[in-house]
Amino acid sequence: MPERVRQMLPSVLSVLLALGVCWALIALTMEPGTATDAYLQMLWGGIGNWPAYLDGAAATVITRPLGESAMKAAILTLTGLSVAVAFKVGLFNIGAQGQMLLGALAAAVVGAQVSLPGVLHVPAALLGAALAGAAWAGIAGLLRIYRGVHEVISTIMLNWVALSLVDNWLVVGPLRGAAEGGQSITGTAEIQATAVLPRLLGEGSRLNLGFPLALVAALAVWVWLTRTRSGFETRAVGLGAEAARAAGIPVARRMGMAMALAGAMAGLAGAVLVLGTEGRYPGTLGAPYGFDGIAIALIGNNHPLGATVSALFFGVLRAGGTRMQLLGVHKSFPELIQGLALLFVAGRMVWLALLRRRNVAPAASAEVPRA
Amino acid sequence: MHRGELLAVVGENGAGKSSLMNVLYGLYQPDAGVLSLDGQPVRFKSPRDAIARGIGMVHQHFMLVPTLSVAENVVLGREPTRNGLLDLERAVQEVSATCARFGFQLEPRARVDTLSVGSQQKVEIVKALHRGAQVLILDEPTAVLTPQESDELARVMRGLVAQGHTVVLISHKLKEVLGVADRIAVMRRGRCVAEVRAADTTAEQLAALMVGDGQRAPAATSTPAVSQAPGEPLLDVRGLQATGDNGRPALRGVDLEVRAGEIVGIAGVDGNGQRELAEVLTGLRPLTSGSGALLGGPLSGLTPAQARTRGVGHIPEDRLHRAVVKALSVEENVALGRHTRPPFAKGPWIDFKGRRERTRELTVAYDVRPPDPEVALRALSGGNQQKVVVARELDARPRLLVVVQPTRGLDVGAVAQVHAKLREARDQGTGVLLVSLDLEEVLALSDRVYVFFEGRVTGHFLRHEFDERELGRRMLGTTEPGHA
């Protein structure tokens, strides 16, 4: 079995097992037929109702669900990348949520307060979001490098600081949008039309530029990590910091840069949410996509492309999950599947041990160090 | 093997010695074959089973918790308790009793990280004995020991055998094996190819058996160095001081010089400042006082990156920790430290083709097995990992090469190869600073030797002045002649 396949198998099997467990849960509490129907609904809700389309329904039965999936997948990809990039340098970024809030706010401010020509406005808002996220993650990075503060502790705490700073003060206070037509609104002022991420499949679908942007970001991170000198240095620091130091690699700089890049990715996730769908920083940012990023990265084996695939899959599940409600199945099941898959992936060593026992012995024995 | 016997298992790197012992200790499962203990077939699912049947193992890399005391380490896993709480007093008493019974001098309350390597090894042995081990397996036990400590260990092993224990000793050092073992089993490529009585054989015969019939045994490593006129000074330090990991002064005013085209040996018992010296010279440890010139620049404020650009090569002592990243591939490890220069990089990009080609050349030239640039370094045996490190450092054509314990745990063939490569580098004009705890190695290779004791130079010998007994006295700080 090729090494690459062997690396992916635990994730794939974990997701399948999670799907199976959740199917059994629905089947046991309702009826087996309902469980299968619910899964089908979830599928059509995620990738579009192709049978109906082929029977002559309007194209929106395809484009609308795809738009919802792509929107969620784009954000999950970016927060997943955020966690995965930090992992590569050996840091555990629990702070994607806080970095995303800062990025979202920066995008909302640049989108609403700055006037720029159309071609520049979106890049400027994205850049602002990336910088805000990078700065927020950079705090944790600097604390780790210069003061030895563990990044898990600092990023968790910075999440709360971000929440208080953004949701509880700036958005309801200084940055609150002015009332429109006598109606008071929650959240910041609406972004200008030039800052809106263009939609790609027409107005019927929320698929916007954020989706290709996330894919390009994933590809760029992958190329950087595997093809460039600095990416190699980053991986070397993550896998053996002391050996990297002895080899003359600037360990602190690599850690700081990887952490900043992680923050930038989370910040972009916030920008995609604000510029693509919300149109402003809403009263509260809703779904904890930043925390989902941890699950996405781990299920994707902390590989930039693995995280992307896992984000696409769970994006589809999340978008389709709402359709389960038609059958009386709660829409939180996709999240349950994601949580279970994460739980099973955490038993990675168990999976590898199980796989090893199944006549994969030659490949496995190569990994056992000899004296 | 028989009760009350000392069996030695010898063989080249990757011959399967450690794998065999790991099967005996229950770490690996046999694919086929039967293991018998006292005439009964047994099957160990884990080390727990092996321990229960009286088998103890001392690993090449110690398995101790550095921040716990000797007593805590020994009782770990079967701690005496009182009211469900750890009864440390009883642990200390028990461990003291075990030490006394087998004649070990260890302070049970001492923290393990404050002990010398030799003492830590004794803790490992006591740990095994404390769990009632009748059969004791020692994997490369003398690789890390000073000559004095090795002699001490030999006494300990003979003492255990005299008390009816069985000792299995895995080693590369043939001379030592011959001195201590009753019987010697020779392994080659996963098979036991010979079993001889120690009294009936010689080191040459054993070496021939290990390497195989077709090949001659590698020559002994005592070929005299070719004395050449020393070249330009590469390193000149005066009054060098530095602090050790424990916060105490490790170097207390060292004067030292290395010139191009010579091998300068540092002899000394472990923990007398040699390691810290190597770290200062490679930019890994700051100096606290003193002045020095290293390849045309100051020694103070040196970073590892600067050391590399000036032309310092480094073969560190702690391979897995400092020299390689074992999760990376062989070719990535070959590039490590030089990854910003051709043929490993093209601008900001990795040059995959150049890296692959250079790695292929080096794996062939240095006989790295398997010669596969893509395989993860962790899949290589320790000896082959070291070959990768030596290949990388010499391939960079360093002007000054700092080498620490380059042949620790290597088999005879690999040792000879590493030594030959170091001489070759010297002959091409590289200045080599060789730190080794193996006095024989230092004397075999060096053109000059500095003796270290407690962070100071206590002796300086030119090649024609080498005198093992006098060096030994200087290493122990007894500089008065005639006190031996």
Assess whether the region B6-211 and the region B233-475 belong to the same CATH fold: yes
Distance, in Å, from the CA atom of B8 to the CA atom of B64, rounded to the nearest integer, reads: 24
Tokens 């994969």 correspond to A360
- The CA-atom distances, in angstroms, between A46 and each of A42, A330, B152, B218, B371 are 6, 16, 72, 68, 48
Q: Does B248 touch chain A (CB under 8 A)?
A: no
Option in A229, A236, A367 nearest B379 (CB): A367
* Contact flag A370-B382 (C-beta cutoff 8 Å): yes
- The CA-atom distances, in angstroms, between A215 and each of A221, A298, B131, B203 are 10, 18, 57, 64
Q: Does B403 touch chain A (CB under 8 A)?
A: no
Option in B282, B326, B381 nearest A370 (CB): B381
Task: Tell me how far apart the terminal alpha carbons of chain A are, to the nearest angstrom.
Answer: 25
Structure-token pair, residue B88: 């440390």
Q: Does B316 touch chain A (CB under 8 A)?
A: yes
Query: What is the rounded average pLDDT of the residues B311-335?
Result: 92
pLDDT at A367: 35
Mean pLDDT check: name the lowest of A270-284, B138-152, B320-334: B138-152
Structure-token pair, residue A46: 């995620």
Tokens 């002649």 correspond to B481
Residue B401 has pLDDT above 70, yes or no: yes
Assigned architecture for domain B6-211: 3-Layer(aba) Sandwich (3.40)
CA nearest to A236 within chain B: B325
Find all residues with CB under 8 Å of B102, minimum gap 6, and list them.
B126, B129, B156, B159, B160, B163
Residues B356-374 have pLDDT tens digits of: 999 999 999 998 988 899 9
* B313 and B400 Cβ atoms separated by less than 8 Å: yes
Distance, in Å, from the CA atom of A58 to the CA atom of A36, rounded to the nearest integer, reads: 25
- The CA-atom distances, in angstroms, between B114 and each of A216, B65, B109, B153, B242 are 53, 12, 11, 20, 18
Residues B275-289 have pLDDT tens digits of: 999 999 999 999 999
- Contacts by A143-151 with C-beta closer than 8 Å and gap 24+? A144/A91, A144/A255, A144/A259, A145/A252, A145/A255, A145/A256, A151/A86, A151/A91, A151/A92, A151/A93, A151/A94, A151/A95, A151/A259
Structure-token pair, residue B74: 């020994």
Domain B233-475: state its class: alpha beta
Mean pLDDT check: name the lowest of B140-154, B157-171, B260-274, B394-408: B140-154
| Chain A residue numbers touching B332 (CB-CB < 8 A) | 232, 236
| Chain B residue numbers touching A368 (CB-CB < 8 A) | 28
Q: Does A232 touch chain B (CB under 8 A)?
A: yes
Q: Which of A232, A237, A251, A368 to mutate to test the interface with B (most CBs of B within 10 A)?
A: A232
Nearest to B351 by CA among B368, B331, B371, B365: B331
Give the confidence band of B144 by pLDDT, cuts at 50, 70, 90: low
Cβ-count burial A311-330 (b if 16+ within 10 Å, e if not): bbbbbbbbbbbbbbeebebe
- Smallest Cα distance from A6 to chain B, Å: 14
* B88 and B119 Cβ atoms separated by less than 8 Å: no
* Contact flag A243-B339 (C-beta cutoff 8 Å): no
* Contact flag A367-B282 (C-beta cutoff 8 Å): no
For residue A119, the tally of other CB atoms under 10 A from its CB is 8
For chain B positions 52-111, those within 8 Å of chain A (CB to CB) are 60
pLDDT at B63: 83
Q: Please report, for chain A, the start and end positions of each structural domain, with discontinuous segments joined by +.
A: 3-365
pLDDT at B484: 36
pLDDT at A124: 97
Structure-token pair, residue A85: 């990039």
Q: Does A358 touch chain B (CB under 8 A)?
A: no
pLDDT at B228: 57
pLDDT at B255: 94
| CATH 1.10.3470 at A3-365, yes or no | yes
Residues A143-191 have pLDDT tens digits of: 999 999 999 999 999 999 999 999 999 988 888 887 666 566 788 889 9
For residue B34, the tally of other CB atoms under 10 A from its CB is 8
SS (H, E, C) chain A: CCHHHHHHHHHHHHHHHHHHHHHHHHHHHCCHHHHHHHHHHHHHHHHCCHHHHHCCCCCHHHHHHHHHHHHHHHHHHHHHHHHHHHHHCCCCCCCHHHHHHHHHHHHHHHHHHCCCCHHHHHHHHHHHHHHHHHHHHHHHHHHHHHHCCCHHHHHHHHHHHHHHHHHHHHCCCCCECCCECCECCCCECCCCHHHCCCECCCCCCCCECHHHHHHHHHHHHHHHHHHEHHHHHHHHHHHCHHHHHHCCCCHHHHHHHHHHHHHHHHHHHHHHHHHHHHCCCCCCCCCCHHHHHHHHHHHCCCCHHHHHHHHHHHHHHHHHHHHHHHHCCCCCHHHHHHHHHHHHHHCHHHHHHHHHHCCCHHHHHCCCCCC
Q: Please report, for chain B, the start and end positions of each structural domain, with discontinuous segments joined by +.
A: 6-211, 233-475
- The CA-atom distances, in angstroms, between B122 and each of A117, B126, B138, B282 are 76, 6, 11, 32
Structure-token pair, residue B68: 């716990």
| Chain B residue numbers touching A370 (CB-CB < 8 A) | 14, 16, 18-19, 380-382
Residues B249-258 have pLDDT tens digits of: 889 999 999 9
Give the confidence band of B129 by pLDDT, cuts at 50, 70, 90: confident
Cβ-count burial B425-441 (b if 16+ within 10 Å, e if not): bbeeebbbbbbbbbbeb
* Contact flag B326-A361 (C-beta cutoff 8 Å): no
Query: What is the rounded average pLDDT of the residues A240-252?
Result: 94
- Smallest Cα distance from B49 to chain A, Å: 20
Q: Does A251 touch chain B (CB under 8 A)?
A: no
- Contacts by A20-29 with C-beta closer than 8 Å and gap 24+? A21/A340, A22/A333, A22/A336, A22/A337, A22/A340, A25/A336, A26/A329, A26/A333
Query: What is the rounded average pLDDT of the residues B197-214?
Result: 73
Q: For chain A, state the CA radius of gyration.
A: 22
Nearest to B254 by CA among B221, B279, B223: B279
| Chain A residue numbers touching B340 (CB-CB < 8 A) | 229
pLDDT at A138: 97
Residue B16 has pLDDT above 90, yes or no: no
Residue A365 has pLDDT above 50, yes or no: no
Residue A136 has pLDDT above 60, yes or no: yes
Distance, in Å, from the CA atom of B123 to the CA atom of A324, rounded to the nearest integer, reads: 62
Residues B432-480 have pLDDT tens digits of: 999 988 788 898 999 999 999 889 999 999 988 888 778 877 877 765 4
Residue type for A263, please? G
* Contact flag A371-B332 (C-beta cutoff 8 Å): no
- The CA-atom distances, in angstroms, between A101 and each of A276, A311, B320 are 15, 19, 41
Query: What is the rounded average pLDDT of the residues B72-97?
Result: 85
- The CA-atom distances, in angstroms, between A288 and each of A75, A125, A277, A285 are 11, 22, 16, 8
Residues A46-94 have pLDDT tens digits of: 999 898 999 988 888 889 999 999 999 999 999 999 999 999 999 999 9
Nearest to A99 by CA among A300, A331, A270, A251: A270
* A275 and A122 Cβ atoms separated by less than 8 Å: yes
